[in-house]
């Protein structure tokens, strides 16, 4: 038999055929044959991270900003276990990720060999699917299938565990067209369910108080879905709110956009969700940070749910009409039928929803994202606002860590394009933003990439600065430094009688010196007056920068829906919050 290839060669052949340009990884004993083969494949660039979790988040950032699957390569044992957080993160946020892990040789599996762990067992609940390849003949088939599983339907992470002896063995390479469709859960295409589409259009026609509630599914469906969403919003004249993951699908500055909804969403978005008579969920999943108290979630509304994943329907919130399919197909059909049945709908329907819009304007006047600025100390919201104003002219990519800074970034940075906002929403992984920024910068070399960070989160994966330096990736780490795990501190203040148990970080590093130690640039802003000038300085540097923005230590993130409260009982600020605790009757309704 001619054309036999080693397992390692087959792996690279598959990567090349899948159009992979970059892999994020870390070598080790059980993947050495693959690393040995790397030199023969100049089209594929390997980015050496400093920790496998970093490889995973970088691959996630790469995937989210490019729309292509992220690929990571890790060794057995600790290499694989270190990847688990990133895999779980990708699973929760539906990010296509292909993780190749080395495994001890087949004959040693199950003997507690050096750096052996049950990788497929450990990653089974945090991947869409995983494989342990025990037969070289199946390697190429499995690898191609892995890419298909990761990228079709609701995207997600997959893992292929490849024992070292398989990497050495020789076998035949099968091209994708030769592959049989071996029960892959392929893209559920929307087969024009005319009746349901018509039902949806009738609900839209009937509604007096409609709202679109859109999520990450719109972004995952691709640029066309974003275009169609914008068209549908303009055709209907309806208000629209977005989840954390959906930001960017609709322009953040548009008047029809009510801002983000949910626990730290705007007053107008949450109240509109509560009082609406028609909710059209496009690619969102009724997450518990969105719904608040389920029993009192939007009690008066009919609900339409568009989702590619049938198991998202009626998981937590019962809906009246489910349209299961890829967002772009469903939106396309909705637009077709709407335009055909009710031409000039927006104008003819304007009167009908005008009272609703005036109500929304009343809520909007509360200016729920407002905050009391200061001349002495930098308010974190102000820092994000300034960062936005000074970067909005460029095509900017924002990643975040997890916590208060993440919510302030979501509230105050206005996105007008999809794939520009990378944040860990489902899993809430501190340490996500820095490595994610690396992946984003690799995928978008000329673009401005900023990680809006908290000082606690960023220290969890700070070692990846070294990666940024090595590959000359000029990412900007914009740390809102309040010396606290801010969101933990906020919850402790509001819910645990100000017992700030272990949420203050003593002995923080000097971030400016730390930057210098890594070989990049450190900048510190101490007061509001110097903020703009320092940000401009950061943007002018074509190198990685760690920006230590010293902010108010006790600022809380508002508005906020407290636990067990419905959407129409938001706390707007300090004053409300005191009332909230002392007396139920003063709660904002």
Partner 1 sequence: MIKSAYSFATNKEKIENHIIVVWVDNETGVLARVVGLFSGRGYNIDSLAVAMVDKKKNVSRITITTSGTPQVLQQIKLQLGKLVPVHKVADFSRNKKTLIREMVLLKIVSSKNQLNKAKKLCDKYKCILLDKTEKYFVLEVSALEKEIDILIKKLQPLGLVSVSRTGVVAMTKGEEIFKQT
Residues that bind partner 1 (CB under 8 A): 120-121, 124-125, 128-129, 132, 149, 183-185, 288, 291-295, 309-311, 313-315, 318, 491, 494-496, 562-564
User: Which CB sits closer to partner 1, 310 or 509?
Assistant: 310
With H, G, I as helix, E, B as strand and everything else as coil, classify residue 22.
strand
Nearest C-alpha neighbor of 307 from the set 317, 299, 298: 317
Of 21, 45, 68, 115, catalytic: 115
CB of 464 to partner 1, least distance (A): 28
With contact defined as beta carbons under 8 Å apart, do 99 and 124 qualify? no
Of 9, 37, 52, 577, catalytic: 52
Distance, in Å, from the CA atom of 436 to the CA atom of 434, rounded to the nearest integer, reads 5
Distance, in Å, from the CA atom of 244 to the CA atom of 96, rounded to the nearest integer, reads 18
Q: What is the dihedral of CA 236, 237, 242, 246, to 10 degrees?
A: 60
User: Which CB sits closer to partner 1, 292 or 435?
Assistant: 292
User: Which CB sits closer to partner 1, 297 or 518?
Assistant: 297
User: Which CB sits closer to partner 1, 288 or 395?
Assistant: 288
Of 13, 128, 145, 164, catalytic: 164
User: Which CB sits closer to partner 1, 206 or 496?
Assistant: 496
With H, G, I as helix, E, B as strand and everything else as coil, classify residue 450.
strand
User: Which CB sits closer to partner 1, 190 or 356?
Assistant: 190
CB of 580 to partner 1, least distance (A): 11
Known catalytic residue at 114 = yes
CB of 263 to partner 1, least distance (A): 9
Nearest C-alpha neighbor of 484 from the set 552, 383, 568, 572: 552
Of 487, 538, 560, 570, catalytic: 487
Distance, in Å, from the CA atom of 18 to the CA atom of 142, rounded to the nearest integer, reads 13
User: Which CB sits closer to partner 1, 55 or 313?
Assistant: 313
CB of 315 to partner 1, least distance (A): 6
Strands 278-282, 257-260: parallel, antiparallel or unpaired by DSSP?
Answer: unpaired
Known catalytic residue at 455 = no
With H, G, I as helix, E, B as strand and everything else as coil, classify residue 444.
coil
CB of 564 to partner 1, least distance (A): 5
Buried b (16+ CB within 10 A) or exposed e, 322-337: bbbbbbbbbbbbbbeb
Distance, in Å, from the CA atom of 582 to the CA atom of 507, rounded to the nearest integer, reads 36
CB of 310 to partner 1, least distance (A): 5
Burial of 224 (0-12, 13-18, 19+ CB in 10 A): middle
Q: In what order do the strands lie in the sheet with 240-242?
A: 257-260, 240-242, 210-214, 278-282, 302-307, 321-324
Distance, in Å, from the CA atom of 294 to the CA atom of 290, rounded to the nearest integer, reads 10
Angle between helices 194-206 and 327-341 (to 10 degrees): 60
CA torsion sign for 122, 127, 129, 131 is negative
Buried b (16+ CB within 10 A) or exposed e, 472-503: ebbbbbbbbbbbbbbbbbbebbbeeeeeeeeb
CB of 42 to partner 1, least distance (A): 34
Q: Centre a 10 Å sphere on the Cβ of residue 552 and count the other Cβ atoms it contains.
A: 18
Of 114, 361, 472, 586, catalytic: 114
User: Which CB sits closer to partner 1, 95 or 515?
Assistant: 95
Distance, in Å, from the CA atom of 296 to the CA atom of 244, rounded to the nearest integer, reads 21
User: Which CB sits closer to partner 1, 446 or 497?
Assistant: 497
With contact defined as beta carbons under 8 Å apart, do 515 and 469 qualify? no
CB of 312 to partner 1, least distance (A): 9
User: Which CB sits closer to partner 1, 13 or 128?
Assistant: 128
Distance, in Å, from the CA atom of 202 to the CA atom of 56, rounded to the nearest integer, reads 44
Residues serving a catalytic function are 52, 114-115, 164, 487
């Amino acid at each position: 038999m001619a054309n036999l290839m080693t397992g390692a060669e087959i792996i690279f052949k598959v990567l090349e055929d899948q159009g992979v340009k970059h892999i994020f990884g870390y070598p080790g004993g059980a993947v050495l044959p693959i690393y040995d083969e790397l030199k023969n494949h100049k089209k594929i660039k390997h980015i050496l991270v400093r920790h496998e979790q970093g490889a995973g988040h970088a691959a996630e950032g790469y995937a989210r900003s490019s729309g292509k699957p992220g690929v990571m390569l890790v060794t057995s044992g600790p290499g694989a276990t270190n990847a688990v957080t990133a895999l779980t993160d990708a699973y929760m946020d539906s990010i296509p990720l292909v993780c190749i892990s080395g495994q001890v040789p087949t004959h040693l599996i199950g003997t507690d060999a050096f750096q052996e762990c049950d990788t497929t067992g450990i990653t089974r609940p945090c991947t869409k699917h995983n494989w342990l390849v025990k037969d070289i003949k199946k390697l190429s088939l499995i690898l191609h299938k892995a890419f298909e599983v990761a990228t079709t339907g609701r995207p997600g992470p997959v893992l292929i565990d490849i024992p070292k002896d398989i990497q050495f063995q020789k076998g035949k390479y099968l091209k994708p067209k030769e592959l049989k469709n071996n029960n892959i859960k392929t893209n559920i295409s929307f087969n024009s369910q005319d009746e349901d589409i018509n039902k949806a259009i009738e609900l839209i026609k009937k509604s007096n108080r409609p709202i679109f509630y859109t999520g990450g599914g719109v972004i995952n469906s691709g640029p066309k879905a974003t275009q169609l969403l914008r068209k549908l919003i303009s055709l209907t004249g309806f208000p629209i709110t977005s989840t954390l993951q959906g930001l960017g699908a609709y322009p953040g500055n548009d008047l029809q956009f009510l801002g983000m909804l949910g626990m730290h969403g705007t007053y107008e978005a949450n109240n509109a969700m509560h009082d609406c008579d028609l909710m059209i969920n496009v690619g969102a999943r009724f997450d518990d940070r969105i719904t608040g108290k389920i029993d009192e979630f939007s009690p008066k509304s009919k609900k339409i749910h568009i989702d590619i994943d049938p198991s998202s329907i009626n998981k937590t919130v019962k809906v009246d009409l489910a349209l299961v399919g890829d967002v772009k197909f469903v939106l396309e059909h909705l637009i077709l039928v709407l335009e055909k049945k009710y031409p000039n709908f927006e104008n003819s329907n304007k009167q009908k929803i005008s009272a609703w819009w005036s109500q929304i304007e009343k809520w909007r006047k509360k200016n729920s994202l407002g905050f009391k600025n200061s001349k002495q100390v930098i308010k974190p919201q102000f820092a994000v606002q300034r960062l936005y104003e000074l970067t909005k002219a460029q095509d900017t990519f924002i990643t975040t860590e997890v916590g208060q800074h993440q919510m302030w970034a979501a509230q105050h940075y206005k996105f007008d394009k999809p794939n520009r906002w990378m944040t860990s929403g489902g899993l809430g992984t501190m340490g996500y933003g820095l490595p994610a920024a690396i992946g984003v910068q690799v995928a978008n070399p000329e673009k401005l990439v900023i990680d809006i960070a908290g000082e606690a989160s960023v220290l969890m994966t700070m070692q990846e600065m070294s990666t940024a330096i090595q590959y000359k990736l000029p990412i900007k780490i914009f740390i809102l430094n309040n010396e606290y795990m801010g969101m933990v501190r906020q919850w402790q203040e509001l819910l645990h009688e100000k017992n700030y148990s272990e949420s203050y970080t003593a002995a923080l590093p000097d971030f400016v010196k730390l930057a210098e130690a890594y070989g990049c640039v450190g900048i510190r802003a101490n007061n509001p007056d110097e903020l703009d000038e320092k940000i401009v300085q950061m943007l002018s540097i074509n190198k990685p920068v760690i920006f230590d923005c010293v902010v108010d230590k006790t600022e809380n993130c508002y508005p906020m829906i407290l636990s067990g409260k419905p959407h129409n009982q938001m706390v707007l600020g300090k004053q409300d919050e005191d009332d909230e605790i002392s007396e139920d009757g003063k709660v904002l309704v």
